Amino acid sequence: MDRETTNKYLKTHGILPESRFGQNFLCDEDIIASIVEIAGIRKGDRVLEIGPGIGALTRPLSAMEIDLTSVEIDKRLSEILREDPDINAQVIDSDFLKLTDYNPEAFDIVISNLPYYVMTDIMKKLFAECINARKMVFMVEEEATARIDASPKTKQYGPLAVLTAVYGVYSEELTVQGSCFIPAPRTTSAVISLTRSEDAKALNKEFVRFVDTCFSMRRKKLTNSLKAYPKEIVEGAYSKLGLDPNVRAEELAPEVFISLYDAIIN
Ligand code: SAM
């Protein structure tokens, strides 16, 4: 939907965008078409969309021969989407962060104009649960890309960068100006894609928790954060991997977290 149609749709349905849900509705048809194309969706794919809003992406996705599930926190919007003849999706009323009654491993593709206030938590949940998805495409705040695609030994490097790198190959696809949304967010946005790699096999809920734990005292030695694990197991893992006992989490490459997890937990 373009700007005019989006405005009309909001008016007809009496919807005032809720800032507490991060509602900035995309209304640029070229950007919408690009996002759908970037996702590389194939016939028969099972696609998960987080936060369909009033259907900017849900509408073109509904026209494809796919199995689409869209999870929306705002009941006003999910009710409208369910009644919209152009929407062909299973719309789930839920805060995605609380959703347990679904089959995350079944999804081939994840797509979302992410609500920025919960971006990190949603991405972590996806990395922990949607472990078979071959691609994830997100709209994020442009300034957040520095944290998502951060390198070791930088201030921005943390759990989100480690998990993103373990999941796959990062690509920044598009920059999107605030004027492409109703209402316009204060910041510029970016569309990013993540393509699953071999290392993604390491992802699960426990691994995500482990990476968070490793960074829980990021200014201190990593051993401080690993105190919950038996000392001799941690020491054995360090010697097996040849790690300096003084190393800090932010100095370790993403793949080292996989080896460390295997050595301590498995
Ligand atoms: N996809 C639409 C678009 O591109 O116009 C809407 C994007 S808007 C940035 C974010 C959407 O996520 C809103 O519809 C909002 O209600 C929904 N949302 C916010 N928090 C959510 C959560 N925790 N779980 C599911 N949906 C959420």
Q: Would you say the CB of residue 50 lies under 6 angstroms from ligand 1?
A: yes
The Cα 150–Cα 145 span in angstroms is: 8
Domain containing 243 equals 205-264
Residue 117 alpha carbon to ligand 1 centre in Å: 10
d(CA 65, CA 192): 24
Same domain, 176 and 50: yes
Is the domain of 27 the same as that of 52? Answer: yes
Distance from the alpha carbon of residue 183 to the mean position of ligand 1, in angstroms: 13
- Ligand 1 lined by 23 (C-beta under 6 Å): yes
Q: Which domain-ending residue is among 202, 221, 246?
A: 202
Residues 18 and 126 in one domain: yes
Instruction: Give distance in angstroms: CA of 127 to centre of ligand 1.
Output: 18
DSSP-derived letter for residue 118 is: G
Q: Is the peptide bond before 254 cis (omega within 30 degrees of 0)?
A: no
Say whether both 78 and 188 belong to one domain.
yes
What letter would DSSP give residue 102?
S
Asked which of 179, 202, 225 is the last residue of a domain, the reply is 202
Residues 170 and 250 in one domain: no
pLDDT tens readout for residues 33-92: 999 999 999 999 999 999 999 999 999 999 999 999 999 999 999 999 999 999 999 999
Within this chain, do residues 223 and 254 fall inside the same structural domain, yes or no?
yes
Number of domain units in the chain: 2
78 lines ligand 1 (CB under 6 A): no
- 122 and 224 share a domain? no
Model pLDDT for residues 147-188, shown as the tens digit of each residue: 999 999 999 999 999 999 999 999 999 999 999 999 999 999
Where residue 39 falls (left for φ over 0; alpha for ψ -120 to 50; beta otherwise) is alpha
* 116 plus 171 within the same structural domain: yes
Last-in-domain residue among 184, 202, 220? 202
Q: What is the pLDDT of residue 214?
A: 98
Q: Are residues 180 and 235 in the same domain?
A: no
Give the list of residues 6+ apart from residue 176 with CB closer than 8 angstroms, or none. Answer: 26, 28, 31, 139, 188, 189, 190, 191
For the Cβ of 77 lying below 6 angstroms from any atom of ligand 1, the answer is yes
Phi (first) and psi of residue 175, to 5 degrees: -105, 140
Whose C-alpha lies nearest to ligand 1, atom 8?
23
pLDDT at 11 over 90: yes
pLDDT for 179: 97
pLDDT tens per residue, range 41-55 = 999 999 999 999 999
Ligand 1 pocket test, pick from 18, 72, 138, 142 with the greatest ligand atom count within 8 Å of Cβ, gives 72
* pTM: predicted TM-score of the whole model, two decimal places: 0.97
Is the model's pLDDT at 266 over the cut of 80?
no
Sequential DSSP letters for 48-98 = EEE--TTTTTHHHHHTSSSEEEEEES-HHHHHHHHH-TT--SEEEES-GGG
CA distance 87 to 78: 11
Q: Of 81, 82, 137, which Cα lies nearest the Cα of 107?
A: 137
Instruction: Judge if 188 and 97 occupy the same domain.
Output: yes
Regarding whether 226 and 171 lie in a shared domain, the answer is no
What are the distances in angstroms from CA 140 to CA 16, 111, 213, 217, 240? 22, 12, 25, 27, 39
CA 165/CA 102 separation, integer angstroms:
25
User: For a pocket test of ligand 1, which of 5, 97, 113, 116 has the largest count of ligand atoms closer than 8 A to its C-beta?
Assistant: 113
178 & 53 share domain: yes
- Percent of all residues in the chain with a pLDDT value above 70, rounded to a whole number: 100
